[in-house]
Chains A and B, each alone.
Chain A
Amino acid sequence: MGDIFTNFFAGIVPLEAYMVVSLIMFFSGVYGFLSRKSLLMILISIELILNSIDINFAVFNRYLYPENMEGFFFALFTIAISACETAVAIAIVINIYRNLGHVEVDSLNELQEPAEVAENTEVSK
């Protein structure tokens, strides 16, 4: 670990520095995911997590395997998949807002039918 201080401003950026950046971003996303009530805030935290993973892929590709391109392409596909997942999640959020009027996760059990109504509909079939 002393290499970080001797390489400071003299030489290349060490690999550990990039990993510290992605570590901070990842665990900020974890904190936001665990402690926020609004669904959109949870989605923003998921974006932070996925973005930190992309940095890791690109850095490992560049520093450890510079002649291959696997990390580069994996980051590319992760960006595409994250875009799809965000689009569908936001469609669900808008649908929830239309039905309930708010998007807080701790009161989403209003969507659930009460037990007697479900039983009545089953019996009548």
Chain B
Amino acid sequence: MAQQIIFYILALIIAVFSVMAVTSGRLIRSATYLLFVLLATAGLYLLLGYTYLFAVQTAVYAGGIMVLFIFAILLTQKPGDRITPESLKQRTLAIVLSIVGALFCGVIIFSNIKKVYALVEQTEIDTKHIGMTLMGTGKFQYMLAFEAVSILLLACIVGAIMIARKRS
């Protein structure tokens, strides 16, 4: 039952703060609400038993990407500026599309979940198993994807520096 209570607290945090993040009037506040959403998502991973994913989410998303966002926000505007509001027509169209989409997906989800599931008690996945799966070349192992992501990271480093350098 403790799992239920913690799940509902985290779910409430995620729902409320993700809506506040996209409707806030100031950009730094949106970034802060996004940080809370990301930390609550990390808590959801911990509740599911994926401790490694919890650590990666906290370190990369909440720790790395949010710092990047806050640097970018402070470099491109004075903090505390109110953003100029959008036109009413654009906002109404966006709200209608979002709500219609959410209802559509909700109906599909609730009418199609029929597979019997059972939450099996799972011991924590140990890091050795994660490492062997990530670096292995057999079936269901992810060496190729790992190398591809490392090339992508190299390309992003080079690309970001080339785009954002000062041209004399």
Contact = CB atoms under 8 A, between A and B. Distances in A.
A63 interface: yes
Nearest to B146: A77
B93 A34 contact: yes
Contact of A80 (B7, B31, B153): B153
Contact of B65 (A58, A62, A86, A97): A86
B137 interface: no
Contact of A84 (B11, B120, B142, B153): B153
Interface of B: 1, 3-5, 7, 11, 14-15, 18-19, 21-22, 27, 30-31, 34, 37-38, 41, 44-45, 48-50, 52-53, 56-57, 60-61, 64-65, 68-69, 71-73, 75-77, 83-84, 86, 90-91, 93-95, 97-99, 101-102, 105-106, 109-110, 113, 115, 117, 119-120, 122, 125, 130, 133-134, 140, 142, 145, 149, 152-153, 155-157, 159-161, 163-164
Contact of B4 (A9, A51, A75, A85): A9
Given A21-B15, A31-B98, A45-B22, A58 B53 contact: yes
Contacts of B77: 103
B68 A48 contact: no
Contacts of B38: 47, 51
A81 B125 contact: no
